[in-house]
Chain A
């Protein structure tokens, strides 16, 4: 289908969706914390814009609620929370090394192709104007997952997680014009609570590990043998944890 054959709104939807996918790639390659958080906010803004456009095209007013939820959570609240925490934990200038940046971006490309392949079998069922962007929503979700797997910093993992959620929300908007309202509210509530809990965890992580680098986690692993027992009976155990 030629792009020019679509209406202006539909073209705009495709444009913004493509830009949102582009922000996912930026996040994959972005090593510094602050730009990462801002890119995430931009992605949220683009997705909220798409929701508004879809609401106009499809004349489904409940999509405005969905757009408002995305805007409040993904553009305002979560980035603000992450920003505040980064400043408080004094890590706003932190950057983390990405092991194989080229490989990761190529992996991202492969995931996008895979999403188009997956979406192919289901897109033809949909009669909605937005069906071309279903593959993009799957790609955003998978790229979020890749971000989570590839990064060791807790902040980047949280952003990957939230980006995944954005992708799924977006999938609901473009595939079915949004989930039932009560479900959307429930999901938004869960995400809100999750983001607060993540904030709590940042402090716990820093207090116990001295940093938010979850790559230092090594205490709970099947590969580790426990410490040897003390020789003398009745001596205090080396790591009494009951």
Chain B
């Protein structure tokens, strides 16, 4: 059994086990333990790939290279920390009577199945399986969005199901087209031509431009729906605000990343065949639009989780924009931003979850005086928002700064909307934040049992990435950048 097998099988088996015992008090602990094993295995695998280069499993089913291995480790890590948060959080929800024991079992089981589908999407070598795993990610989370069974949550889940379903169906059509292009040009063993190693190895530059352009448009719409690119984003704020908070944390921190990962993989193929920047330009356009629109929408939110989900759209737009610019510097910045956004945003959602339990509502105008009532939650929310808004010395600042520099180099006039967008988003976040964190708490507001360890760990990591990127990590990003953009950023 290889480390990859352990990484993939642990969440799957954990999910199956939790389908039977997930409602017991032990269930939360099993969830955490599964996360620990998955994370350790993924970390060991990352070190192995780091030392020996890309890893192709026997049977060529899985392929791990510099690009996806760090996302595998990140996914396992955020999955672990969120499971640590979710154990007391879900207990509290059961005690409040919002979740029955049966639904708790469903929640725990689906949590691990979701992680499995994410890891499968990241590590598979087959573009078809990538699609299957992305669809499975929707299927595993859709019942969790409607976990509370309120009319709002059911509406949100239906929207999520239908919009993501339609979107991702386009991606399947795009995948068929890629297979069509590859079958025509590459020949060879049937069934091999959907393998990434074949497409990107011998197939580089050989695919028909007309087909591959059409395929990219379908795939961009398809996976773009899951990334939450405007105007395909409608499901995202609903699903984030109505589901249980641990779900919001993993959706924002992981699912969006993985969908974007799929898109970037496809872009690598398209770029090699087209020799133009068509894919990049499309991604820049969608990215810029999402960034701007989401920044404006931040201003008119009344629900705290909704607000931060718009912030996720904004950041995913920024990352898409970065990958669209191409070039080593922008790609490096986008990869770094993917990491820091994922860490920061899941930390914020964890804090917001506690804050909502504290205040008993998600309405921004009713959350008051967090610092007075329970200082760790208040400070966590404040620091998390400061970090996500891109203040130095946090890592988000570094990646946004690098991205700005890359934009200045290749598209100087685009720095203006970018800077304005940063300003708008900043104002949007802080006009709500100040009243929630400071001020007089409403009478009778009592502290809740909160585990702030995951938040602290995430924010310290983000801070660390902002002060000094450790050499092995920068080397890692460098390798991934080399793989995606074809040149080293240094």
Contacts and interface: CB of A to CB of B under 8 A. Distances in A.
B360 A182 contact: no
A145 B191 CA distance: 29
Contact of A182 (B129, B165, B190): B129
Nearest to A154: B158
A240 B360 contact: yes
Interface stretch (A9-17, A26-34, A47-55, A213-221): A213-221
**Considering the complex of A and B, which 7 residue pairs feature the smallest CB-CB distances, nearest first?**
A183-B128, A186-B132, A180-B191, A208-B151, A190-B135, A226-B302, A175-B180
Contacts of A189: 132
Contacts of B297: 222
A219 B155 contact: yes
Interface size class of B (residues with CB under 8 A): 35 or more
A164 interface: yes
B151 A209 contact: yes
A25 to B, nearest CB: 20
Given A220-B242, A226-B363, A183 B442 contact: no
A65 interface: no
Contact of B177 (A122, A180, A197): A122
A22 interface: no
A179 interface: yes
Nearest to B215: A122
Interface size class of A (residues with CB under 8 A): 35 or more
B128 A179 contact: yes
B191 A200 contact: no
Given A197-B139, A220-B152, A242-B361, A234 B176 contact: no
A161 B172 contact: no
A135 B361 CA distance: 52
A233 interface: yes
A148 B166 contact: yes
A180 B194 contact: yes
Interface string B195-215: 000000000000010110010
A121 interface: yes
A104 B224 CA distance: 27
A204 interface: yes
Interface of B: 126, 128-129, 131-132, 135-136, 139, 142-143, 146, 149-152, 154-159, 161-162, 165-166, 169, 172-173, 175-177, 179-181, 183-184, 190-191, 194, 208, 210-211, 214, 237-238, 241-242, 297, 300, 302-303, 356-357, 359-363, 365-366, 442-444
19 contacts: A121-B211, A125-B210, A148-B166, A161-B165, A165-B172, A176-B179, A179-B194, A182-B129, A183-B129, A183-B131, A183-B132, A186-B128, A197-B143, A214-B158, A220-B238, A226-B363, A237-B366, A242-B360, A242-B361
A181 interface: yes
A118 interface: yes
A148 B158 CA distance: 13
Contact of A168 (B169, B241, B442): B169
Given A161-B165, A186-B128, A226-B363, 6 more contacts: A141-B169, A176-B176, A187-B132, A201-B157, A201-B161, A226-B303
A229 B361 CA distance: 13
Contacts of B177: 122, 175
A37 interface: no
Contact of A219 (B135, B146, B151): B151
A151 to B, nearest CB: 11
Contacts of A69: none
Contacts of B183: 176
Interface string A166-210: 001001100110011111001101100110011011001101110
B139 A241 contact: no
A138 to B, nearest CB: 8
B365 A229 contact: yes
A242 B359 contact: yes
A39 interface: no
A157 interface: yes
Contact of A157 (B136, B162, B357): B162
A168 B176 contact: yes
B361 A208 contact: no
A141 B162 CA distance: 15
A160 B309 CA distance: 29
